Structures are given as structure tokens and as C-alpha cells.
């Protein structure tokens, strides 16, 4: 074989080797891009699935909040003393029975003297009124705490309490003073959520 032929053959092998290496590089790059694209699509699907799961968890939590709020409202309205306090806020005059069976005719103006530690004509009635409102305030303290930590949502309890809290904030009863006097700061914050703007 002639040296020129061998030289051409050597050059041909070099060019062919370079072409094969380039082709292999292109194939490897194409495979890497395809793998990256698949991984990106898979990650996007995983993120979408996580978003759907998170949305479902939020919906489930929101439903649990609403159910829990309903239970809290029921507990408050089932507490005879707290219910009496709410009724006292609503009516000018009504008759109430304490847990021992004693009956009291309570008029709205009597709330102010009973709750603000003024002297009262009927000390037993004043104590009855205080006990009713202390029970209500205790519940409201818990409700406000649950609202502040995010266990309850205001929307779930607003309808049940807006009317009564707006009545409680009227000046003729002076509940804001009684919240302070009996040391119920969270109950006061709860009531202030419903202050008319």
C-alpha cells in the first residue's frame, strides 16, 4: 500500500472518529435534555399534587374550624348562666332561675350596678347577675384565645354573637368597665371585635 493511501486512510479514520464522537456527544446531550425535561415535568406534577393536597387540607381544616365553632356556640348557649347573661343583654326585663331554683326578676338597669360593684338593693340578685356574666365572660375568654391562635374563625361565630356583643357595648350597661373590673381582657377584645364603626 502506498504511503499516500495510508495517510488518507489515517485522516479518514481521524475524521470518522471525530464525527462519531460528535454524534455520540449530540446523542448524550439529547438524552440528558430529555431526562431533564422529564424530571422537570415530574417535579411540576409533584408540585401540583402537593398544591392540591394542601388545598384539600386547608378545606378540611376550615370545615373542622366551623364544626368546632358550632360546638363552642352550643356549649355556651347550653350553659344556663351564660345563656341567662345573653338574655339579660337582650331583654329590658325578664325572670330568671338560678341553679338552686331561686327566681329573680332582672331589669336591664340593674345590670350596671351589679356588674360595676355598686351597692345593690338585692344582694342575692346582684350576685346572681355577676355569676351569670362571669360564666359568659369565661366562655368569651376561651373563644377569643381560640380566635387569636387560629383554631376558630371569626366568620363562624360572628352571627351567634354580634347582636349580643353590640348590646353589651352599649353605654347604659358599661360592660367595658366590668371586663376590666373582673379581669377579662380577652373577653373585652372579643366584644370589641363587634363594636360598630
CA distance 133 to 82: 6
CA distance 68 to 113: 35
Who wins on pLDDT, 1 or 159?
Answer: 159
CA distance 94 to 91: 7
First to last CA, the chain: 106
Query: What is the rounded average pLDDT of the residues 113-137?
Result: 84
pLDDT attached to residue 99: 84
Contact between 84 and 104 (Cβ < 8 Å): no
Q: Measured in whole angstroms, how far is the alpha carbon of residue 169 from the centre of its chain?
A: 24
> Could you read off the pLDDT of 17-72 as tens digits, one per residue?
888 888 888 888 888 898 998 989 999 999 999 999 999 999 999 999 999 999 99
Beta bridge partners of 93: 107
Query: What is the rounded average pLDDT of the residues 158-168?
Result: 92
pLDDT attached to residue 46: 92
> Could you read off the pLDDT of 73-107 as tens digits, one per residue?
999 999 999 999 999 999 989 999 988 889 999 99
Domain boundaries, the chain: 1-60, 79-192
Amino acid at each position: 500500500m502506498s504511503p499516500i493511501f495510508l495517510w488518507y486512510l489515517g485522516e479518514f479514520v481521524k475524521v470518522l472518529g471525530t464525527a462519531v464522537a460528535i454524534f455520540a456527544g449530540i446523542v448524550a446531550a439529547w438524552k440528558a435534555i430529555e431526562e431533564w425535561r422529564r424530571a422537570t415535568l415530574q417535579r411540576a406534577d409533584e408540585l401540583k399534587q402537593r398544591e392540591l393536597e394542601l388545598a384539600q387540607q386547608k378545606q378540611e381544616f376550615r370545615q373542622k374550624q366551623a364544626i368546632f365553632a358550632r360546638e363552642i356556640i352550643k356549649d355556651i348557649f347550653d350553659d344556663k348562666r351564660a345563656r341567662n347573661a345573653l338574655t339579660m343583654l337582650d331583654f329590658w326585663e325578664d325572670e330568671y332561675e338560678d341553679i338552686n331554683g331561686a327566681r329573680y326578676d332582672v331589669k336591664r338597669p340593674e345590670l350596671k350596678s351589679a356588674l360595676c360593684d355598686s351597692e345593690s338593693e338585692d344582694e342575692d340578685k346582684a350576685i346572681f347577675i355577676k355569676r351569670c356574666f362571669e360564666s359568659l365572660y369565661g366562655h368569651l375568654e376561651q373563644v377569643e384565645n381560640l380566635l387569636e391562635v387560629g383554631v376558630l374563625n371569626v366568620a363562624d361565630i360572628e352571627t351567634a354573637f354580634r347582636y349580643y356583643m353590640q348590646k353589651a357595648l352599649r353605654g347604659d350597661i358599661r360592660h367595658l368597665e366590668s371586663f376590666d373590673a373582673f379581669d377579662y381582657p380577652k373577653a373585652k377584645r372579643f366584644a370589641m371585635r363587634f363594636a360598630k364603626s
